[in-house]
Amino acid sequence: MEVQSAMDQSSAHTEFPTNLRERRSNVDCAVRDSDSNQGMSKYVPDSISSGAQRLKREVNKRYELVKFQALPEHLKDNEYIFKHYRADWPIREALGSIFTIHNETLNIWTHLSGFFVFMGLTIYTAMKMPSYGEIPGMMHHLPNFQQLRWQSVTDELTNMVAPQPQKPISRWPFFVFLSGAMFCLLSSSICHLLYCHSQRMANLLLKLDYIGIAYLIAASFYPPVYYTFMCNPTLRNTYLIGITCLGLCTIAVSLMPMFQTHQFRPFRAILFASMGISGIVPCVHKLLLHWGEPAAQTTFYLEMTMGALYGLGAVIYATRVPERWKPGHFDIAGHSHQLFHVLVVAGALTHYRAGLLYLKWRDEQGCEAM
Ligand SMILES: [Zn+2]
């Protein structure tokens, strides 16, 4: 009867895991008290001691993965993923779960590994920045930049990051993009890692995640717009101010509580996608201004590839394919959010490649208006 009662309690808690931390600390006290008084155990009734042990077992079970039905309402995001959820985990356990298998493991690592890749690219790009000392005529004052090059495989990349320039151009727009990529990927990883802690934490981290996406999209405009319209400051500043305002408006909308609800998933996808699609305007404008310029055409193709990768990612995110087709079969690997993450990293890497071409183009040709 007592065993049955414990089982009933256990299943009831699995269904409604609220106030777990409070319960856990009470139970920990009870168990600690029980342990510290072992010397007096002969004075403690068996039913109390075994009750504390049973509660401890029950609490430890809380850090086990649960099914969708057992989730609190704010964590019920994707009904096509059945199992392997973390729910109401303390920060320490949630942080430790980065190295364990659950249905967010690959969501965390797809963007965290992307973050490390972009951090490496940022350091590499910063190290290879040309200085005015490389301008012909001043080369004899400084070490020969060519001697610092890596060989073979990296030669092409190095030459794109820092070709022998006529007049080195500003790198800051490229670093705005790189900072956007790193911020987006890192905030997304943190969100997926700690989202399971509490509703308050989930709301906060989702806002951070959406800010990261808007920041990445807006920051992605900076290199193409800056380097395309470098010789026309009015046009360049108009585009840059326009996309910055659009990014800030998107962030303001994404901070609204209703924006984070599950019902708004398609709206979120449409909002971010349309922000990205608006990039078609400066892209076409670039082709009209620089028709016949190989760098303008190549960067245009790369930008279209990036748009296609982000667009496909948005469609997969909104439709929740493939888990919609086979619910429960992609809980750990292969579900839509992981595919969306991989496509975001691929799109950002494509944009990095385009950014290098812009630097090479403008470093070589310069701009009389500068
Ligand atoms: Zn995500």
pLDDT digits (tens, 9 = 90+) for 5-20: 433 444 333 433 444 4
Q: How far is the CA of 192 from the centre of ligand 1 (A)?
A: 7
Find the 185 Cα to ligand 1 centroid distance in Å: 9
Question: 113 in helix, strand or coil?
Answer: helix
Binding residues: 192, 337, 341
Q: Residue 242 C-alpha to ligand 1 middle, in angstroms? A: 27
Find where tokens 């993923």 sit. 81
Q: Give yes or no for a contact between 50 and 85, defined as CB atoms under 8 angstroms apart.
A: no
Q: Quick one: average pLDDT of 73-79?
A: 91
CA 357 to centroid of ligand 1, rounded, Å:
29
CA of 188 to the centre of ligand 1 (A): 5
Which amino acids are annotated as binding site for Zn(2+), given as ranges? Answer: 192, 337, 341
Q: How confident is the model at residue 137 (pLDDT cuts 50, 70, 90)?
A: very low
Q: Give the least confident one: 52-66, 94-108, 164-178.
A: 52-66
The Cα 200–Cα 205 span in angstroms is 9
**Mapping DSSP to helix (H, G, I), strand (E, B) and coil, where does residue 66 land?**
strand
Residue reference for tokens 């500003």: 170
The CA 203 to ligand 1 mean position distance, Å, reads 14
Q: How far is the CA of 338 from the centre of ligand 1 (A)?
A: 8
Percent of the residues in the chain that have a pLDDT greater than 70, as a whole number: 72
Smallest Cα–Cα separation from 180: which of 114, 237, 230, 269?
114
For residue 262, name the pLDDT band (cuts at 50, 70, 90): confident
Contacts of 13 (CB under 8 A, 6+ apart): 20, 58, 62
- CA 89, CA 100: separation in Å to the nearest integer? 14
What pLDDT score was predicted for residue 145?
39
CA of 47 to the centre of ligand 1 (A): 47
Q: How much distance in Å is there from the Cα of 175 to the middle of ligand 1?
A: 23
Would you say residue 154 has pLDDT above 70?
A: no
Question: What percent of the chain is predicted at pLDDT more than 90?
Answer: 54
Angle between helices 153-161 and 336-365 (to 10 degrees): 70
